């Protein structure tokens, strides 16, 4: 079925951030305009020694920090993103670096920031800039024609390629478009859960936008609160209100269980439904890493279906497609800026081994005459002679997007590189490392495994193992409502009313057939008329209508009894559909979901951010704690 676009602009998103820095270095105010709340859930200060190598080479420092985050920090302190604020001055003009479109990934959701100014706003703006790259925002270059409501002499916008005093504090129109495009592609799958308020830094406060202990709601400061269900002064619900926040709260009341609250955004995402007990939509879930997608042309990874074809279209426009395998093998074996498998820990270009060639620089054919992603992209064309004669054209790109962004011309992690193989850490690895087949095996052939390793069942089957009749979905997503039964019942009844007469005649005919056969036409019609006008005819009509409604409805009146022993109608569990096979093996799971009505209230997208600070001990006081308090 067609995928539905998420209401990316109306969805508040929460970034759970861990900072290794002074918490006054960062500010949530920059991202509030984008409906994103950055919650500081962790803070480390490396005052004695660094926990990973921090050098003047920004690329090496970024590589080492992201490795440390994945192996040491993430397993012990769950979060969405981590930023390192360093007192070491980087080489050249670089003051920060972060991978683009990497939010929520275990390998690359983070960045490094140099504490380059006595004004704490400088580091805060740089952190917001690098966080923007994680979200998929590119630089505001002149050729993009970005709209910025602040002139350059007053600081301009946050995603400008270079910055200085006065520092920018707003995002441009290009940044907003980039963010929406990234969210629609599936970037930021981890941001739809509310952060755990017990781990937030800064102390409890009514008006901070987070419902904490003793509060029934929190709609922010009094001047910014527009919530009709919440008293902004006391953080308590108004009279008659049951809820105030959440996608499952409508006009201060809970939505019924099974109401869709978050559609699937792409072929690797799964829908979520209200539980009827909470105002919040269940946490976002998606297909287990390694699951087939795009008609088995790709594999899911972090909720995104990455393919070479999609990346070629991104770089070269419509009509572009992946080049033959020989292009990847020949070009990426060079180990130079034009063909490589990324950089090693020392910052040198690495050659691709033959099995890993499709995980290096992307090689394409067709499309536009030049890359469509900006003027900083250089076309690299290679002609490879074939043994049987002729040549094959391979088109690669080298994209210079600034000192703070790695080359996007490299194949994205999670891209399919062979049968049941995907690119991980620039190597072509078997998807079996994720255990997706073992996980889906417990779903009785009637569902798939989600990222929490739980079964997401097809309609008519119940979690946790899809082996019993039910309403579909998973223990994580909430129950799937199959249809609006009342509306279906009315529609069906209206459609079949013309046939009720014929059915009634057949039923009555069994008792009257003998008499009707041995009387004249006039007597036959009189007898039939007496049956229809009598109490028995009325009882038959009610019985047919009730039993028809019984087959399509959920909340039904009791049916008239056919015999004294069957006087009460009891609701039975949903029956297993007879047209479904008992088991089936499929690589792609599709869920038919009723269209979602326009959201009445914005739901929250949460970014949990972890910030790390590496400062030489003698430079610890460089952070100006007397300036404006900036908290992420």
In this structure, the chain runs to a length of 632
Instruction: Catalogue the long-range contacts made by 407-411 (C-beta closer than 8 Å, 24 or more residues apart).
Output: 408/100, 408/373, 409/315, 409/361, 409/362, 409/377, 410/342, 410/360, 410/361, 410/362, 411/308, 411/311, 411/358, 411/359, 411/360, 411/361, 411/362
Annotated ligand binding at 291? The verdict is no
Active site residue 272: no
Annotated ligand binding at 133? The verdict is yes
Mark out the alpha helices in 95-240 (DSSP H runs).
120-135, 173-185
Q: What are the DSSP E strand ranges found in 55-206? A: 81-86, 96-97, 110-114
Q: Torsion-angle region of residue 460: left (phi > 0), alpha (psi -120 to 50) or beta?
A: left
- Other Cβ atoms within 10 Å of 579 Cβ, number: 4
Q: What count of Cα atoms within 13 Å lies in the side-chain half-sphere of residue 17?
A: 33
The span from the CA of 328 to the CA of 534, in Å, is 84
The span from the CA of 67 to the CA of 138, in Å, is 24
The span from the CA of 106 to the CA of 394, in Å, is 32
Phi, psi of 315 (to 5 degrees): -85, -35
The span from the CA of 431 to the CA of 433, in Å, is 5
Catalytic residue among 44, 130, 215, 272: 130
Q: What are the tokens at 270? A: 């799964």
Listing DSSP states for 249-299 in one string gives EETTEEPPTT-EEE---STTB--EE--SS-SSPPPP-BBPTT-EETTTTEE
- Which residues are CB-contacts of 383 (< 8 A; sequence separation ≥ 6)? 391, 392, 393, 394
- In angstroms, how far is CA 574 from the centroid of its own chain? 31
Do the beta carbons of residue 324 and residue 392 sit within 8 Å? yes
Annotated ligand binding at 129? The verdict is yes
Active site residues: 130
Task: State the binding site.
Answer: 129, 133, 139
Task: State the binding site for Zn(2+).
Answer: 129, 133, 139
């Amino acid at each position: 079925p067609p995928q539905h676009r998420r209401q990316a602009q109306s969805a508040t998103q929460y970034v759970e951030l861990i900072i290794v820095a002074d918490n006054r270095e960062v500010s949530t105010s920059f991202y509030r305009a984008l409906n994103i709340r950055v919650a500081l859930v962790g803070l480390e200060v490396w005052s004695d020694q660094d926990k990973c190598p921090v050098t003047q080479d920004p690329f090496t420092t970024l590589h080492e920090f992201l490795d440390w985050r994945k192996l040491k920090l993430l397993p012990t302190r769950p979060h969405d993103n981590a930023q390192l604020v360093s007192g070491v001055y980087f080489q050249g003009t670089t003051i920060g670096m972060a991978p683009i479109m990497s939010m929520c990934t275990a390998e690359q959701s983070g960045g490094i920031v140099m504490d380059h100014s006595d004004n704490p706003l400088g580091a805060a703006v740089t952190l917001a800039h690098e966080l923007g790259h994680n979200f998929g925002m590119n630089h505001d270059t002149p050729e993009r024609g970005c709209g910025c409501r602040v002139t350059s002499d007053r600081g301009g916008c946050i995603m400008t390629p270079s910055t200085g005093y006065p520092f920018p504090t707003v995002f441009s129109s290009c940044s907003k478009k980039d963010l929406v495009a990234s969210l629609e592609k599936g970037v930021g799958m981890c941001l739809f859960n509310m952060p755990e308020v017990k781990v937030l830094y800064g102390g409890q406060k009514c008006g901070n936008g987070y419902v904490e202990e003793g509060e029934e709601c929190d709609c922010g400061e009094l001047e910014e609160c527009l919530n009709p269900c919440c008293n902004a002064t006391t953080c308590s619900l108004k009279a008659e209100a049951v809820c105030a926040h959440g996608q499952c709260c409508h006009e201060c009341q809970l939505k019924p269980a099974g109401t869709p609250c978050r559609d699937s955004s792409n072929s690797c995402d799964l829908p979520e439904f209200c539980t009827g007990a909470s105002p919040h939509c269940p946490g976002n879930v998606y297909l287990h890493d390694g699951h087939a997608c795009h008609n088995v042309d790709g594999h899911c990874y972090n909720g995104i279906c990455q393919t070479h074809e999609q990346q070629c279209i991104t770089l070269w426009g419509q009509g572009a497609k992946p080049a033959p395998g020989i292009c990847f093998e020949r070009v990426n074996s060079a180990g130079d800026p034009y063909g490589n498998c990324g950089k090693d820990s020392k910052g040198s270009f690495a050659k691709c081994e033959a099995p890993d060639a499709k995980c290096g620089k992307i090689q394409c054919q067709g499309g536009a005459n030049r890359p469509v992603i900006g003027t900083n992209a250089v076309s690299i064309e290679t002609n490879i002679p074939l043994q049987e004669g002729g040549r094959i054209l391979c088109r690669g790109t080298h994209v210079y997007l600034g000192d703070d962004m790695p080359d996007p011309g490299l194949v994205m992690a999670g891209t399919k590189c062979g049968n049941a193989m995907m690119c991980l850490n620039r190597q072509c690895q078997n998807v079996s490392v994720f255990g997706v087949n073992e996980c889906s095996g417990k779903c009785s052939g009637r569902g798939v495994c989600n990222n929490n390793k739980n079964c997401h069942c097809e309609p008519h089957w119940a979690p946790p193992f899809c082996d019993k009749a039910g309403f579909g979905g998973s223990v994580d997503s909430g129950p799937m409502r199959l249809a609006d039964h009342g509306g279906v019942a009315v529609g069906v009844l209206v459609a079949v009313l013309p046939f009720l007469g014929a059915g009634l005649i057949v039923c009555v005919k069994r008792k009257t057939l003998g008499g009707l056969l041995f009387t004249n036409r006039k007597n036959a019609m009189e007898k039939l008329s007496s049956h229809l006008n009598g109490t028995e005819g009325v009882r038959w009509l009610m019985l047919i209508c009730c039993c028809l409604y019984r087959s399509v409805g959920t909340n039904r009146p009791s049916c008239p009894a056919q015999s004294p022993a069957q006087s009460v109608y009891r609701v039975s569990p949903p029956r297993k559909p007879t047209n479904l096979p008992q088991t089936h093996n499929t690589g792609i799971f599709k869920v038919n979901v009723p269209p979602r009505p326009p959201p009445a209230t914005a739901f929250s997208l949460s970014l949990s951010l972890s910030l790390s600070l590496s400062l030489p001990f003698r430079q610890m006081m460089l952070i100006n704690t007397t300036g404006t308090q900036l908290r992420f």
